[in-house]
Structure 1
Amino acid sequence: MTAFRLRARRVLVSVTAGVCAAVLAGGCGLVGGPSGPRAPGPAEGVATARAAAPAAPRRAAQLEDDYRTVIREVLPSVVQIDAEKGLGSGVVYDAKGHIVTNAHVVGDEKSFRVTVATGGAPLAARLVFSYPEQDLAVIRLDRPPAGLKPARFGESSQVEVGQIVLAMGSPLGLAGSVTQGIVSATGRTVSESAAGGGTGATIGNMVQTSAAINPGNSGGALVSLGGEIVGIPTLAAADPAVGSAAPGIGFAIPVSMVKNIAGQIVRTGRVTDSGRAALNITGRTVLDGEYQPAGVAVVEAAPGGAAADAGLRAGDVITKVGSAPITTMTSLLEALAAEQPGDRVAVAYTRGGRTATAQVTLGEM
């Protein structure tokens, strides 16, 4: 699986995606006669064109109505989160005042000011739990207001490439902003940098979208035209050649992961079942004689963990998981993100200059 090394972006170049209305081209049919088919005369052609012309405005008007309906329905469930060190967005999870957002939005802070998209005075909120491993967190309003509207969360299995989506949040502090695009890919594995406020998480099955994700959008809502949350906008791609934003390439945490992690936090106050595969080791990237990354050295294999049970021990250097070459800790995390706890995979490693392979039943992060 292709993996992307990106960083959580709080400051990006704004990208505006235009709404294009599909135009239905009206064709002129042939008219039969004694001497065979003939082309329509000038008057007939004009009449046909006039009959077909209203189709395009009707379709554009219907799409606009769909947009307005979704925005009216979902935007009241999207909030702005003000922390001491930054600003982001969140989505109302339930009527009790739980709000799901990104872990990099809350950072290491415990208290926040929350403003709903429809306005009003900021509300006090406190951290329930942050889970940086998948860049998700839940905060809770101290006094949930009457009429607080929870969002509707969809199913990741229903998200398809080409689907129109809207990104809602507070880019640049502009609460209640909406951008539009499509789902441009699914199943992406993305590694987030730990720099610039990022968590360093490697997240699998992310939704790639062309909807603009700008600073402040993080933690907001990626919404289908059916009014369901399909992801939490989290990352925007950076062009490695110039270091600036890569227009039209953003990533959202899939809704299935959001519901799993946020649901556990709301129920128990923490994450007890990550659903993420792990080798249960502490590792570090090692370099070869040319100072190039060459694998992950096992610093410690937790007793009873997946690697230790398969015979790996401190000092071993992991070079492959399944068919994926391993050169760095990031590549190891990316390979594991594509697996599930309980999967059995071949792990190639070197020990004392010799190469070996162990069959490892993966544990859980």
Structure 2
Amino acid sequence: MDVSPARAPGPPRSPLSRLSGLPPLPRSAVPSLAAVVCAVGLLGGCSGGGAPAPDRSTQAAAPLAANDLEDDYRAVIKNVLPSVVQIDASESLGSGVVYDDKGHIVTNAHVVGREKTFRVSAATGGRPVTARLVSTYPEQDLAVIKLESLPQGLKPARFGDSSAVDMGQIVLAMGSPLGLSGSVTQGIVSATGRTVSEGQNGGGTGATLANMVQTSAAINPGNSGGALVNLDGEVIGIPTLAAVDPELGGGSAAGIGFAIPATTVRTIADQIVKDGKVTDSGRAALDITGRTVLDDAYEPTGVAVVEAPANGAAGKAGLRPGDVITRLGDTEITTITSLAEALAARRPGDEVVVTYERGSETRTAKVRLGEM
């Protein structure tokens, strides 16, 4: 599956004029009130023809339940939207989340790119404020910038516990899709624990990201770095990627987006705020430089070791340039991406058996993984 970063390519001059090119959100994504009433009515014994009269108390409960959910949405939006900002760089546009009361904003590394200064606008309005880069960590596609002054009404977001996130939870995505600041979309948590690799062609960092939260909430260009929020008003993730359907000419696949979990966001952002850089990535590494190897049919068959420093994890285990890695533990390795995804599921210090080819001979080595 292909994924692309949800960053808008440059500050849109007239966002509304570009909406016509987007596929509409399917009506089936949000059930109508009539459908909800019918479903509840069926539980109460209603049916067509000469069925018994419906329980009117049950019928009345459906609109009340819908109103309660609507009230929950409004409360969450009112509470969280002041913590979401729009980030304008000279070559791109994205979103960010207020991290603390000192003006730190967490966002995606692919939103800030190589730039150092930005214009930040609050979703609730007001004049833009200048912000400067604190540090970026492309390996996890996260970055922290800091406001030079604090706009009135801006407040730090409350980050939730990623381990409590589960399939089926209702979530709201907040950000600036296509430059429409303060936009909100609704969906559910479709899955957790996804490992995805983002491409570089669409402006991504090429990072392989583990434990991602998959959501059906619409994630569009400009949503990157914003907030994925539960109904308790907690940020449970940072929307980062949208799936791309090659059959749609590379267009986003509706209802398949991914967010970096809140626990990972806090781990990286805390280090950047405290030390100005990431000092403990928590990401496993083989400590090699490699490239994908193709067979005579141009099919990927493994990862060739280009460099393996003697003091690195692979080098200590005896691997050397020219070896071709074909398996990591029980996982078959055919490309650099598959190797990155296999490593993303492990921790520094883990021991793993690496299968590799040296000439015509197949060998194995037990490797204690290093840190990225």
Normalising by structure 2, we get a TM-score of 0.90
- Residue 96 of structure 1 and its aligned partner are, at CA, apart by 0.3
SS in 1 for 2:66: helix
Q: 1:179 aligns with which of 181, 185, 198?
A: 185
Q: Deviations over 1:170-205 (max 9, x none)?
A: 011111100000000111110100112111011011
- Aligned counterpart in structure 1 of residue 123 of structure 2, from 110, 113, 117: 117
Q: Distance in 2 between matches of 1:347 and 1:28?
A: 61
Q: CA–CA distance in 2 between the matches of 1:28 and 1:278? A: 59
Cα drift, residue 14 of structure 1: 5.2
Deviation at 1:230, TM superposition (A): 0.5
Aligned sequence identity (%): 67
- Structure 1: distance between partners of 2:161 and 2:336: 31
Name 2:135's counterpart in structure 1: 129
Q: Which amino acid aligns with 1:225?
A: L
1:12-64 CA distances to partner (integer Å, 9 max, x unpaired)? 935534255544336369xxxxxxxxxxxx9x955x53232210011001000
Question: Helix, strand or coil: the match of 2:110?
Answer: helix
Q: CA deviation at 1:146?
A: 4.7
Identify the match of residue 22 of structure 2 among 13, 16, 27: 13
Offset from partner CA, 1:273-315 (integer Å, 9 cap, x none): 1111100111111222222222111111123211111111111
1:210-289 aligned within 5 A: 210-242=216-248, 243-289=250-296
Q: Secondary structure at the match of 1:336?
A: helix
Report the CA distance between 1:84 and its aligned residue.
Answer: 0.2
- Measure the CA separation in 2 of the matches of 1:167 and 1:238: 18
Query: Residue type matched to 1:257 in 2?
Result: T
From 20, 27, 35, the equivalent of 2:44 is 27
CA contact (8 A) 1:211 1:248 kept: yes
Aligned-partner Cα distance in 2 for 1:169–1:225 = 16
2:18 maps to what in 1?
Answer: none
Structure 2: which amino acid aligns with 1:18?
Answer: V
Match of 2:343 in 1: 336
Q: CA 1:96–1:28 in structure 2 vs 1: closer, same or farther (change >3 Å)?
A: same
The one-letter amino acid of 2:224's match is: S
Amino acid at match of 1:352: G
SS at match of 1:108: coil
Q: CA-to-partner distance for each residue in 1:137-181, whole Å, 9 max, x for gaps? A: 000001123543000000110000000000000011111100000
Q: Considering only CA atoms, is the larger Rg found in Structure 1 or Structure 2?
A: 1
Distance (Å, rounded) in 2 between the aligned partners of 1:20 and 1:353: 63
Q: Using the TM superposition, give the Cα deviation of residue 239 of structure 1 relative to its aligned residue in structure 2, in angstroms.
A: 0.8
Matched residue of 2:57: which SS? helix
Q: Secondary structure at the match of 2:30?
A: coil
Structure 1: runs of 5 or more not aligned:
30-41
- CA–CA separation in structure 2 for the residues paired with 1:350 and 1:194: 29
Q: Distance in 1 between matches of 2:44 and 2:238?
A: 43
1:68 corresponding residue in structure 2: 74
Tell me, yes or no, if structure 1 residue 83 matches structure 2 residue 89: yes
Q: Secondary structure at the match of 2:187?
A: strand
The question of whether the paired residues in 2 share the 8 Å contact of 1:14 and 1:214 is answered with: no
Whole-angstrom distance in 2 between the partners of 1:20 and 1:132? 42
How big is the shift at 1:9? 3.9
How many aligned positions are there?
348
- Note if 1:170 corresponds to 2:176: yes
Q: After TM superposition, where is structure 1 displaced by more than 6 Å over at least 4 residues in a row?
A: none
Q: Which amino acid aligns with 2:174?
A: M
8 Å CA contact 1:15–1:212 kept in 2: the answer is: no
- Secondary structure of 1:213 counterpart: coil
Contact preservation (8 Å) 1:15, 1:248: no
Q: Give the whole-Å Cα distance in 2 for the aligned partners of 1:338 and 1:72.
A: 37
In the alignment, which residue of structure 2 is the partner of 1:300? 307
Unaligned 5+ segments in structure 2 are: 9-20
Q: Mapping of 1:35-50 within 5 angstroms?
A: 46=53, 49-50=55-56
Q: Aligned match of 2:166 in 151, 160, 169?
A: 160
What amino acid maps onto 1:73 in structure 2? N
**Alpha carbons 1:79, 1:169 under 8 Å: kept:** yes
C-alpha spacing 1:19/1:10, structure 2 compared with 1 (3 Å): farther
Q: Which moved more, 1:15-24 or 1:208-217?
A: 15-24
Once residues 279 and 23 of structure 2 are traced to their aligned partners in structure 1, the CA distance between those partners, rounded to angstroms, is 38
Of 330, 339, 360, 1:353 maps to 360
